[in-house]
């Protein structure tokens, strides 16, 4: 699901790091996911990262990161997500600083200034997920509730009641529930 430019935020549940993390996890770990270099580049572009810096040789690092982040979306307890994020925050060198550039305006960067794209992406997605659980616990992320779907989601709606990765999974599940009710 792509997010319209302008709707993207730098922090909170609409943050580009949260949306990009979910898209990457799906590309790399879900059945039918596309983790080709072009697909990864598209994820970066859709989520307003510096996709122009992405080189095909970076794909392996992004795939590793997608596999690393999957357990966050699967975490059943906020304590598990905390432990995981804390461990990653120790492993990934951080150097928080302010930056001011398009399209985000004034905002935080978390990786050291001269870091490569893959490293900056790790630092930003990690910190955005950390900020997300501070504000919302695990209420805005999860694995799709549809039968047979292993995709994850990050809920960017105001209401925050999402349980499916996509409209099509929500509809399929609702139709099945409706039929089941009619049968009984």
Among 70, 122, 151, 162, binds Zn ion (CB under 5 A): 151
| Interacting span for Zn ion (CB under 5 A) from 51-59, 65-73, 113-121, 151-159 | 151-159
Task: Please name every residue paired with 106 in a beta bridge, in sequence order, or none if there are none.
Answer: 100
Burial of 9 (0-12, 13-18, 19+ CB in 10 A): middle
| Interacting span for Zn ion (CB under 5 A) from 54-62, 139-147, 154-162, 170-178 | 139-147
Within the chain, strands assigned E span 97-101, 105-109, 141-143, 152-154
Among 117, 126, 144, 154, binds Zn ion (CB under 5 A): 144
Which residue's entry shows tokens 């596309």? 34
Q: By CB under 5 A, tell whether 120 contacts Zn ion.
A: no
Among 21, 24, 111, 146, binds Zn ion (CB under 5 A): 146
Identity of the residue, 31 or 90, whose beta carbon is nearer to Zn ion in the bound complex:
31
Which residue's entry shows tokens 């905390």? 82
Identity of the residue, 75 or 143, whose beta carbon is nearer to Zn ion in the bound complex:
143
Structure tokens at 166: 């996509």
Show contacts with Zn ion in window 11-40 (CB under 5 A): none
Task: Please name every residue paired with 153 in a beta bridge, in sequence order, or none if there are none.
Answer: 142
Burial of 111 (0-12, 13-18, 19+ CB in 10 A): buried
Query: ∠66-34-62 over CA atoms, to 5°?
Result: 30
Show contacts with Zn ion in window 157-176 (CB under 5 A): 165, 169
Show contacts with Zn ion in window 86-115 (CB under 5 A): 99
Identity of the residue, 19 or 149, whose beta carbon is nearer to Zn ion in the bound complex:
149
Identity of the residue, 22 or 69, whose beta carbon is nearer to Zn ion in the bound complex:
22
Which residue's entry shows tokens 């996509």? 166
Among 22, 44, 149, 154, binds Zn ion (CB under 5 A): 149
Binding site for Zn ion (CB under 5 A): 99, 144, 146, 149, 151, 165, 169
């Amino acid at each position: 699901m792509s997010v319209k430019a302008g709707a993207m935020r730098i922090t909170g549940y609409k943050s580009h790091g949260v949306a990009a993390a979910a898209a990457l996890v799906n590309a790399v770990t879900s059945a039918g996911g596309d983790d080709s270099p072009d697909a990864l580049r598209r994820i970066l572009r859709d989520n307003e990262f510096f996709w122009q810096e992405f080189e095909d040789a970076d794909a392996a690092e992004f795939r590793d990161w997608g596999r690393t982040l999957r357990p966050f979306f699967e975490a059943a307890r906020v304590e598990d997500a905390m432990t995981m994020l804390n461990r990653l925050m120790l492993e990934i060198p951080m150097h928080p600083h302010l930056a001011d550039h398009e399209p985000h305006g004034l905002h935080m960067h978390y990786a050291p200034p001269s870091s490569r794209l893959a490293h900056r992406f790790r630092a930003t997605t990690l910190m955005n997920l950390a900020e997300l659980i501070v504000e919302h616990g695990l209420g805005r992320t999860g694995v799709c509730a549809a039968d047979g779907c292993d995709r994850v989601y990050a809920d960017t709606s105001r209401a925050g009641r999402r349980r499916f990765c996509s409209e099509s999974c929500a509809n399929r599940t609702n139709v099945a529930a409706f039929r089941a009710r009619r049968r009984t």
